[in-house]
Each structure stands twice: as structure tokens, then as C-alpha cells.
Chains A and B, each alone.
Chain A
Amino acid sequence: MPSLNLLIQSAVSGVLLGGLYGLIGLGLGLSWGFLGQINLSHFAFVFLSAYLSFDLVNKLGIDPLICLVIFPPIFFVIGVCLHWLIRRFKITPFNSLLLTFGLTVIVEAFIQWIWTADFVKLQTHYGDKKAEIFGIYLPFAETMAFVIAVIVAVMVHIVMKYTDLGKAVRAIAQDPKMATAFGIPQKRISLGIAGVCTALAALAGVCVALIYTLNPSQMYTWIGVIFAVVMLGGLGSSFGPLIAGIVIGVSEAITMVFVNPSWAPIVSFSLLIALLLFRPGKL
């Protein structure tokens, strides 16, 4: 039986990791819920951003936190361009899955080409930083990811709930044609959403670079867990993915303590399967 301290420590790690899950899931869920696109390349953009921060920090000596400021605008533009391209062809959600799959493979090959398939780890002075509260450690990078996830979720919630822009977005999600008929600039808003989602991927990528050892093919291992987060949290929901991420993060962490770390993936995937089978209507 693991000690209470270990249990609490792993639960806390689970919560923090869940924040990162929520951050990645938020972007994926927004584009699925509001644009009807299942954007697999979201994972590719997370990793692209992670590798870019690796290079900027390692080669140019830039502080990783500065990446959090420079990347989102750049990725916003990438996201807008990509969505502009996809919009020109009317494709079904399923084909968007295949199309972004192709894009993911290209980005993966690109990363492998530039940074090789070897594992790389970003070493910074933040790596050892941690706070200690009652004997529980809060590592800097994980905590930062969690805080960013909370801030972003709150911002998205406020925009969706209390602004005209948010109303317009929700109207588009319900009926794009009708929304256009009522004078909502549907095209511009859709492009904006796509850009925001990709910018969120960039934010998450910086956190991933600070926390994990990177390898291009690892982008696929995130797919299951993040889809579980998105579905559990609800498509297009602002706080849903965060809460779902924490639930899954904690249950994974507890599994690791009680059973074995290598069994951890089964938690999220089983949850995803159970969700699809028992609450498919909610998606």
C-alpha cells in the first residue's frame, strides 16, 4: 500500500497534468464543436511548437516563457491559412479527419527531417524549479501549464458567454447558413476560431517541451487521451475539457501508483470507449 503522501503527490501531479490535457483538448474541441472539423493536425502543431521552442531556447538562448508570447500569433496565422484552404473545398467531418491525418504525417516527417527521430529534452533553469507545500511538490512547468489552461478556459468562457462575438460563434455552430442570413460574418469568424485553436496548440506545445522528452512519433500517443478528454468534456465547451482532463489525469496517476505505469494508457482509452458506447448522443 503506497503511503498517503505518495498518493496525494500523484493526485496533485495528475491534476496538473490534467491541466495540460485540458489545454490541448480545448483547441481540439472548439474546432470540432464550432467548425465541424476533427483536426488531427492539432497534435502536429503542438509538437511543432514544442520543437520550435526547443530550438529557440537551445540555440538562441531565449527564455522559454518568451515563446509563450511569440508563438501564438504565428500559429494563429498558420491556422487561419490552413482553414482558408480547407474551406474552399466542402469536406465532411470524416474527410477532415483523413485530410488532417495526412497533414499530421507531413508535419511528423518534417520534424523528423529537421530534428531527427531521436529523443530530445529541453534543459532549462526552470527544470529544477518547484514549490513545496506541506511536503507536496509543485514542479514549475506542470504548474505553469495548469495555470495557463485555467486562464485560457476562463477567457474562452467569458468570450462565449458574455460577448456578441461569442453569441455569433454559437449561432454559427447551430446553423451556419441561418447565421449568415442574419448578417454574421461567418467566414471571418470561422477563420478566427481556427486561428485561435492553432494558437492554443502553440501554447500547449511550449508546455510540452518544458515537461517532456520529445520524439516526433509521440504525437500519436496523445491522440487517444485527448479525444477522451474532448468527448468527456463536451464539444465546444470551455471548462469541460479542463475538468475532464483533471479527471483523466488523476485516474491515470492513481493507476500508476497502484498498478503499473505501463497500464496507465488503458484508463483513458477505456474511458473513451465507454463514453462512445454509453453516451454517444452527448457528443
Chain B
Amino acid sequence: MKQSSYSLVVLAGALFAMLPWLNMPAFWQSFLYIVFYWSVLAVSWNLFSGVSGYFSFGHGAFFGIGMYTVAYFCGHLEMPFLPILILAGFLAGLFGLGIGALVFRVHNVRGELFALLTLAVTFVIATIVLNTPIDGGPGVYLNSVAIPKFGPNAAATFYLMMLALLIVTMLAAIWIYSSKLGLGLSAIHDDEDAAEVMGVPTYRSKLVGLFISTYLAGMAGAIQALFVSYVTANETFSITVPLFVVLMSVLGGTRHWAGPLLGAIVITGIQYFFTVGDSALMGKMILGLILIAVILFIPNGLLGNFARSRAKKNSQKIVETLKNIYTQSPMKEVQQPTSQVLLQTHGLSKSFSGVKALQNLDLEIYQGEILGLLGPNGSGKSTFINVISGHFAATSGQKIFQGEDITGLSAHEIAVKGITRTYQTPRPFNELTVLDNTRLVASYAGNTSLEEASELAYAALTQVGLENKADALPSDLNLHQRKFLEFARALAAKPKLLMLDEVLSGLTPSEIQSSVELIQKIRSQGTTILFVEHVMSAVMALADRIAVLNHGQLIAKGLPTEVMRNPEVMVAYLGKKAD
């Protein structure tokens, strides 16, 4: 699918590139230029913002940096255009990186806050440009800049340059949508915290995505600057660019790379039609109405459903191929717990502004064992999993995994070391298929290519019995299946330590039985398991050892039968005897 999309884009590009030599009417040439121009901006915006859900209202700022790079270097300093075109992209990208490096560190700046922040950045840049020699107020004329010669005339040159940029932008978009990076960004869109815990380096992925997006926007600005040949700060940094770009992407659909392209064609067409008909105001009103109608009636955009069915088909196809070559790995001997320590915590503590959720925890997990972690509600079991997985940083104390200190590592690094988890309430990535959900984790936490990850994912899905649901979306699954999807995701990365957070709650007795068997099977393949559970029959059936938490403190650990007779444990669970 990916290869054919690439060739289709290149082929279409080549066809369009021939048009200037075939006596294309000037009207069509200028119209197509504008379509290309908006398509570059919309597709480049979408390949980061649409995929990751970080809707930027600052695309105009990066576009503007490109424009003013040309205005400054070609206009003021009279340098040649082509090298500056590259520089323009680079400066815009660099600026995007700078902003991202700052903004992406702040946990809460997501969604609408990110949109506002990028909008504010645009105005700050506009003010700076307006008040410094870069512009100074009157605008910059670029009439004297030499236009490079590609086509039969100057207009054709602009047409060809923007076309070339559009092809590059589309190839970049297709690549992102079919790559590991794009899969990671989609996961960030759906649930960023879970993505990080599943091994996606969220910070780095966002930076790379934003860099590519802003680089392309900067180049579009550079070409457009030369095209309009007069650059003013008010026009450049106006609300038009971010508004149109978001509008086009939302209209076309952000879940397919071609959505913004379609949106750009439709909207540019409407605009052009109304400007030619001398009713620009009407066009503006209609655009406003379209935006409202799209948000209300087709929030996923024109290509929304198409993108969904394509994703399903793609998963189906992968599964079809894998079905034939997949052979179940032979059952190993049932592993018994060893005396080798896999994970050791020293004085692990976690406080939430005064509330001590974990206090001074010294706990070891032996290689190959199943350790049950018990305790009343609010005793710190989930916090323990969150601290081990790196989702929460420990307030103090140490985590040693396989003899290595992993205390300061971020969640995705810990996932790559071989620690995965499931969530008590399943947290699948809702817009990804079951297969994509699973191979995402296999690929990131298992540190493999997407192809290998598909095989691992298929094996994991087969193990939990979801292989026939590989092309379904999580919303099509029932609770039991969603819990098993959690299992499959955690297993796909072939973890050394698997942490299960109340996987049995809410299941029927027969579902519990099959889950217990599954857990035993997983252990027999060499995975160490920590599980938090309230279903006592399952705990007694599975656990080699039990540790009990109460008020964030470890009050007992040892063999199940011993621990359950411990008086402190009985008090914690049943309360004190009345005198």
C-alpha cells in the first residue's frame, strides 16, 4: 500500500510538471499554484498536528519565518534565492524544535492549551518582526530578487517549485502515516500517558514530527514570499494561515494523509470561485458555515470513514499473510521461581503533595516467579506499578532491574528494558486497530521494526485468542476482549517483567478461569509476573509469593498460606476485633 502510494504521488507529480510546456492557460496555472500552496501548508500541518492531536495554531508563525527569511536574506542582503529556500525551511524547523523543546516538557499543555500557546507565539514573532530591522513596519519588497529559471516563464517556475514541494510534502506525509513514528504519534493522539508507558518516546517523537512539519511550512513561506514579492508582517502573521490550514484538515479528515489535500482543493476552489465572482465576503461566510457544519455533522472529516476502513483492511492483510507462516512456539517446561533477583526496590517512596502513597518500600521480585501484590483499596498497589513503570517518578529510593539502576529512567526507557504493564480499566488506543495497538507496543517496547513487530503482535494475539479480531477497533470489543487486548499488548514486547493491574475484576467465573490459565502459560514461557488482584481464589491458585501493602507500607511478604495467617494482614483486611 505504501509503495503504491509513493509511486502514485510521483507519477501524478510528473504529469502535473509537464503541463507548463503544454500551453496550460494562465488561469489554470495560477489557480493550481494556489491549490499546491495551500495543500503544502495543510498536509504539512496535518502530518504532525493531525496525527498527534497537538493542534497547532502557530503554523502561520513557521510559514512566516520562511517568508521573512527570504525577505531578509534575499531582499535586504540580496542573496540568491535557492540556497535561502533551504535555509528558510531549516530556520523554521529549528524554531519549531525550540518551541517544542520548551512546550513538550510541560505535561499539561495539550489540546486547546497547545493551540492557544502556538497562537500566542505567532503574535510574539509578528511583534518582533514588526519592530526590528527584519521588517521595521513598511514591509519588504522583493521585486529585485532574481527568480530561478525552471519552466518556460516566471509563473511556470513558481508553479513547478510549489509542485515539487508538494510532492516532497506528500511523500513525507505518506511515510509518516505508514511508519513507526506515525504509529507512535497516533498513540500519543489517543492516550499520551499510556503511549509513553508502552515504550513510545513521546517527547522525541513529537519533536521530530514538529520539525518535519515546520520545515515544510517554512519552505512554503519562502516560495510564497517570492511569489507575492511584497511581504508585510500583518498579512504574513494574520489568522488566515492557521485558520485555513485547520479548516482544510478538519474538513478532509486528519486520519488519512490525503484528507488535508482534499480539504485544500475544496476550500481553495470555493474561495477562488467566490473571488472571481466578486463576492469574497460570501466566500468567507460559507467557509465559516462549512467549518461549523463539519464539526457538528462529520467530526471525522470527509475521509474519516475511508481512513478507518483502510486501516482495518491493512491490518486484515497483514494478518492474512502471517496466518500462513505462523507456527506456535513449542511449550517450554514449566518454569519455577528461581532465587535470582529480577527487580529490587530500596526504600522506594512516593508522595503526592503530602499524601504518602508509598513509604520506604523494600521489595524484591525473583526471576520466574508470580508475585501477588495485595492490600485494601488505596493502599498503594497501583501507585507501586506506576512508579515501577516510570509513569510517576519516585520521591525517593531506588529501583534496580537486572542489577541495573533504573530509578531515573523515563517510562519509555523502562518499557524497552523489558517491563510492561496492563491497566485495570483497559486503555487501548481507540483509533488504532487491535493489531496496530499490539504491534505498536511490540515495535517500541520490543525495539523492533514494524515488520518484525507484526509477527510478534500476531503471536501475542494468538496466545490470548484475539487473532480473529486483529482488524477490529477497540470499541468493537467487549470488556473481556479488551482486557485480553491489554494482555496481548503487554506480551507482544516479550517482557521480562509483566505487571498485571486487576486483570480479573469484572470478569465472569469462566473468563477468570481462562485468564488464570493464560497467566500460567505466560509464566511458563519465562516471564516474571507481578499481579495486583482482589479475587482471592485466583491469588491463591497463582501466586508463588504474596506481598501485602497497607497505607503505602509493606506489612507482610512470604508464602501465600503464611501471609494470609499474619494478624496484621487480617486487621488490614477485616478490621480490628471489637473488644
Instruction: Determine if B289 is an interface residue (Cβ-Cβ < 8 Å).
Output: yes
Instruction: Determine if B405 is an interface residue (Cβ-Cβ < 8 Å).
Output: no
Give chain A residues whose Cβ lies under 8 Å from the Cβ of B102: 277
Instruction: Determine if A61 is an interface residue (Cβ-Cβ < 8 Å).
Output: no
Task: Give the residue name and chain of the B residue nearest to A38 (CB).
Answer: B112
CA gap between A24 and B113 in the complex, in Å: 20
For chain B, the bracket of interface size reads 35 or more
Give chain B residues whose Cβ lies under 8 Å from the Cβ of A84: none
Instruction: Determine if A183 is an interface residue (Cβ-Cβ < 8 Å).
Output: no
Number of A interface residues at 8 Å Cβ cutoff, please give it: 40
Contact, CB under 8 Å: B284 / A109: yes
A20 CB to closest chain B CB (Å) equals 19
Interface centre among B108, B247, B285, B295 (most CB of A within 10 A): B295
Instruction: Determine if B17 is an interface residue (Cβ-Cβ < 8 Å).
Output: no
Contacts A227-B116, A273-B121 given; does A103 touch B127 at CB 8 Å: no
CA gap between A78 and B423 in the complex, in Å: 46
Chain A, residues 259-283, CB within 8 Å of chain B (1/0): the string is: 0101101100110110011001101
Instruction: Determine if B130 is an interface residue (Cβ-Cβ < 8 Å).
Output: yes
Contact of B106 among A110, A260, A266, A277 (CB under 8 A): A277
Contact of A266 among B119, B127, B238 (CB under 8 A): B127
Contact, CB under 8 Å: B120 / A94: no
Contact of B113 among A112, A220, A265, A280 (CB under 8 A): A280
Interface centre among A98, A223, A283 (most CB of B within 10 A): A98
A212 CB to closest chain B CB (Å) equals 18
CA gap between A228 and B124 in the complex, in Å: 13
Within 8 A of A (CB), among B281-307: 281-282, 284-285, 287-292, 295-296, 299
Instruction: Determine if B92 is an interface residue (Cβ-Cβ < 8 Å).
Output: no
Contacts A262-B131, A277-B102 given; does A98 touch B291 at CB 8 Å: yes
CA gap between A262 and B239 in the complex, in Å: 19
A160 CB to closest chain B CB (Å) equals 24
B352 CB to closest chain A CB (Å) equals 13
Contact, CB under 8 Å: B120 / A95: no
Contact, CB under 8 Å: A262 / B289: no
Chain A, residues 221-235, CB within 8 Å of chain B (1/0): the string is: 001100110000000
Contact, CB under 8 Å: A276 / B291: no
Chain A, residues 87-121, CB within 8 Å of chain B (1/0): the string is: 00101011101110111111011101100000000
Task: Give the residue name and chain of the A residue nearest to B290 (CB).
Answer: A102
Chain B, residues 448-460, CB within 8 Å of chain A (1/0): the string is: 0000000000000
Give chain A residues whose Cβ lies under 8 Å from the Cβ of B121: 269, 273
Give chain A residues whose Cβ lies under 8 Å from the Cβ of B535: none
B154 CB to closest chain A CB (Å) equals 31
Instruction: Determine if B55 is an interface residue (Cβ-Cβ < 8 Å).
Output: yes
Contact, CB under 8 Å: B111 / A94: yes
Give chain A residues whose Cβ lies under 8 Å from the Cβ of B288: 102-106, 109
CA gap between A213 and B521 in the complex, in Å: 76
Interface centre among B113, B115, B137, B247 (most CB of A within 10 A): B113
Give chain B residues whose Cβ lies under 8 Å from the Cβ of A276: 106, 109, 113, 116-117, 120
Task: Give the residue name and chain of the A residue nearest to B239 (CB).
Answer: A220
Instruction: Determine if B103 is an interface residue (Cβ-Cβ < 8 Å).
Output: yes
Interface residues of A, dominant DSSP: helix
A221 CB to closest chain B CB (Å) equals 8
Contact, CB under 8 Å: B281 / A113: yes
Contact, CB under 8 Å: A281 / B108: yes
Contact, CB under 8 Å: A283 / B113: yes
Give chain B residues whose Cβ lies under 8 Å from the Cβ of A265: 123, 127
Contact, CB under 8 Å: B295 / A93: no
Instruction: Determine if B24 is an interface residue (Cβ-Cβ < 8 Å).
Output: no
Contact, CB under 8 Å: B106 / A105: no
Instruction: Determine if B445 is an interface residue (Cβ-Cβ < 8 Å).
Output: no
CA gap between A265 and B115 in the complex, in Å: 19
Contact, CB under 8 Å: B295 / A95: yes
CA gap between A104 and B123 in the complex, in Å: 19
Contacts A105-B291, A106-B288, A277-B106 given; does A95 touch B124 at CB 8 Å: no
CA gap between A263 and B128 in the complex, in Å: 8
Contact, CB under 8 Å: B289 / A106: yes
Instruction: Determine if B246 is an interface residue (Cβ-Cβ < 8 Å).
Output: yes
CA gap between A76 and B211 in the complex, in Å: 45
Contact, CB under 8 Å: B127 / A105: no
Contact, CB under 8 Å: B123 / A280: no
Task: Give the residue name and chain of the B residue nearest to A267 (CB).
Answer: B127
Give chain B residues whose Cβ lies under 8 Å from the Cβ of A228: 120
Chain B, residues 227-248, CB within 8 Å of chain A (1/0): the string is: 0000000000011000100110
Contact, CB under 8 Å: A97 / B119: no
A109 CB to closest chain B CB (Å) equals 4
CA gap between A72 and B534 in the complex, in Å: 58
Within 8 A of A (CB), among B93-152: 102-103, 106-109, 111-113, 115-117, 119-121, 123-124, 127-128, 130-131, 137
CA gap between A34 and B494 in the complex, in Å: 46
Contact, CB under 8 Å: A269 / B291: no
Give chain A residues whose Cβ lies under 8 Å from the Cβ of B287: 102, 105
Task: Give the residue name and chain of the B residue nearest to A280 (CB).
Answer: B108
CA gap between A238 and B274 in the complex, in Å: 44
CA gap between A6 and B209 in the complex, in Å: 49
B343 CB to closest chain A CB (Å) equals 32
Give chain B residues whose Cβ lies under 8 Å from the Cβ of A108: 284
Give chain A residues whose Cβ lies under 8 Å from the Cβ of B291: 98-99, 101-102, 105
CA gap between A278 and B127 in the complex, in Å: 22
Contact, CB under 8 Å: A95 / B299: yes
Contacts A94-B111, A99-B291, A105-B288 given; does A260 touch B296 at CB 8 Å: no
Beyond A266-B127, A272-B116, A276-B120, 13 additional contacts (C-beta under 8 Å) are A91-B295, A94-B55, A94-B111, A98-B291, A99-B291, A101-B291, A102-B290, A102-B292, A106-B285, A224-B123, A263-B127, A269-B120, A272-B120
6 tightest CB-CB pairs across the interface, nearest first? A102-B291, A280-B108, A106-B288, A105-B288, A109-B284, A102-B292
- Can you list 22 A-B pairs, Cβ within 8 angstroms, ordered by A? A91-B295, A91-B296, A91-B299, A94-B55, A101-B243, A102-B290, A102-B295, A103-B288, A106-B289, A109-B281, A109-B284, A113-B281, A228-B120, A262-B130, A263-B127, A269-B121, A269-B123, A269-B124, A272-B116, A273-B120, A273-B121, A283-B113
